[in-house]
Amino acid sequence: MSEEIKNVWQDYFAQAPLTLYKTEQVETAVTAFNTNVDAVLKISGKRLAELVKKEGLSLKELKDIKQTKLLEPKDVLKGIFKSFCGGIAEEWLSEEKTVYDWMKENLGYDRLQMGGQGGIVANVLGILGVKKVIAHTNSLPAEQAQQFLTLDNIVSFDENGQEKPAHKINRSKDIPMIHWIVEFDKGDEIELEGIKFVCPKSNRFIATYDPLNLRLVVDDHFIKATTNSKADYVILSGMHALTANNDGVALVEKVLPIINAWHRHGAMVHLEIASTQDIEVRKAIIQKLATNVDSIGINERELIDILEVVGEDKLAKICNEDCHAENLFRALLRVKEILKTPRIQLHFFGLYLTIQNKSFRVTAEQNRNGMILAATVAAGKAGTGNLNKKENLLWALGQKVSDIGIKELETISAIIEDKNLLKTGLSQYAGFDIIAVPTILVEKPITLVGMGDTISSVSLVSAR
């Protein structure tokens, strides 16, 4: 039965090139707000143990996490250890330059690449062939400009407000914003005090020191240009780095009039919900922004984060303990009912799941097409390490969807009592359209950085 279903889905995935061609007809997309430079480092359990020993941390201290902020260098090691042992993705923030200096001296990096949802999505949509992608940059010196693909359809603004291809701009007075992306591999081990810890899933830990994005500093030239002209899509993120202590709640609220201006010109606004550690800022993002956009994108951790701020603590606990399709589907449905956002997409291991209003301006079938292309592109990113070449977009074409994805899809099909979902990915439940797509899993991904941003943006913009 599983192979039969896989073959059915392989036929659907074979249409990805046609969806890609249609995506090239999209006129304009806007990406905002956070763009930075990522310093990517692959860390081994052995190297992590060496750093723990160098800093003199005991296992007890390493596990003693009182806050998910980087107040001093040892917090960096606590965060990496937690993510390594859990196989989970987390981002912790710092406002301490001493932490930044320690990371620069002790961690180093393997390579530099585009960072921040806004920057990553701009490159993805640019290589997809969207005719014009307008990228927000609050800092655009040469180091940052070099992270944009050398494509003239990705544009930003120089110091005089002139629109130019982003890769050609050098606002030389700006200071580059650099984040550390610390990746680790499934099956790797770390031994501390005679105890072995095995990493259950390849993932990454992000350590962020970024004074501009921590204060949501925006480029006025960008705001003026994008709120006075029509765009087809706006892919929005970047508020997750704010903190209540730095007026984060007020800064979130200042985004709402900008969203309203985009809406007045007919843009479809999608909000990517990133891991937001500050609870007050998270509440503001969910209550003020998520309820006023057309679409939101989340992973399983961010779904749990939302549950915790909408009064669904019991359901959050259930999902924390068992993060699989049945619990996640019920949680996603509950969030949809509470927030009333027209479209919500969840991506988790093996499956993408969208719940949307029946009246949503992109049909369920179009959504499935976009999600299938997103699954293909995401596998291409994981398998090749980047999406800097057009041919990498369809690298995974012809590969079969995963057994894990089919199993998760079977679970949701049983919950809603519709076997047709398993064979088509389309159904209706509780008055909503349900779209579910099993994904192609790459056994040993070269990178996972920006995967969620890629999935969400491609799913929506390519839904045609």
Mean pLDDT of the residues in the chain: 95
Kindly tell me if the per-residue pLDDT of 112 is higher than 90: no
The DSSP string of 235-275 is EE--GGG--GGGTHHHHHHHHHHHHHHHHHTTPEEEEE---
* CATH code 3.30.1110.20 region(s) in the chain: 44-106+178-209
Q: Which pLDDT tens digit goes with each residue over 348-372?
A: 999 999 999 999 999 999 999 999 9
Question: Under a CB-based contact definition with an 8 Å cutoff, are residues 397 and 13 in contact?
Answer: yes
Mean pLDDT, range 403-417, rounded to an integer: 97
* Six token digits for residue 191: 């031994």
Mean pLDDT, range 98-107, rounded to an integer: 91
Helical residues (DSSP H) of 33-163, grouped into ranges? 45-55, 59-63, 73-86, 97-106, 117-128, 142-145
Q: Which pLDDT tens digit goes with each residue over 125-141?
A: 999 999 999 999 999 99
Q: Which residue has the tokens 């006023």?
A: 292
pLDDT at site 67: 87
CA 309 to each of CA 46, 80, 237, 279: distance values in angstroms, whole numbers, following the listed order: 38, 26, 18, 8
Q: Which pLDDT tens digit goes with each residue over 17-64?
A: 999 999 999 999 999 999 999 888 999 999 999 999 999 999 999 999
What is the DSSP code (8-state) at residue 193? T
Architecture per CATH, domain 44-106+178-209, reads as 2-Layer Sandwich (3.30)
> Which helix (H) or strand (E) is 25 found in, with range?
none
pLDDT at site 391: 95
* CATH code 3.40.1190.20 region(s) in the chain: 2-35+122-168+214-461
pLDDT band for 95, please (50, 70, 90 cuts): confident
Q: What is the C-alpha separation between 182 and 171, in angstroms, rounded? A: 28
Backbone angles phi, psi at 44, to 5 degrees: -95, 160
pLDDT at site 305: 96
Q: Nearest 10 degrees: CA dihedral of 122, 126, 131, 132?
A: 30
Q: What is the C-alpha separation between 231 and 134, in angstroms, rounded? A: 9
- What does the chain come to in residues? 464
pLDDT at site 35: 95
More confident residue, 324 or 211: 324
Cβ neighbours, 10 Å, residue 247: 15
pLDDT at site 1: 59
Q: Which pLDDT tens digit goes with each residue over 233-278?
A: 999 999 998 989 889 999 999 999 999 999 999 999 999 999 898 9
Question: Under a CB-based contact definition with an 8 Å cutoff, are residues 353 and 342 in contact?
Answer: no
The distance from CA 47 to its chain's CA centroid, rounded to whole angstroms, is 27
Indicate the CATH number of 2-35+122-168+214-461 among 3.30.450.40, 3.40.50.150, 3.40.1190.20, 3.50.50.60. Answer: 3.40.1190.20
Prediction pTM value: 0.86
What is the DSSP code (8-state) at residue 69? B
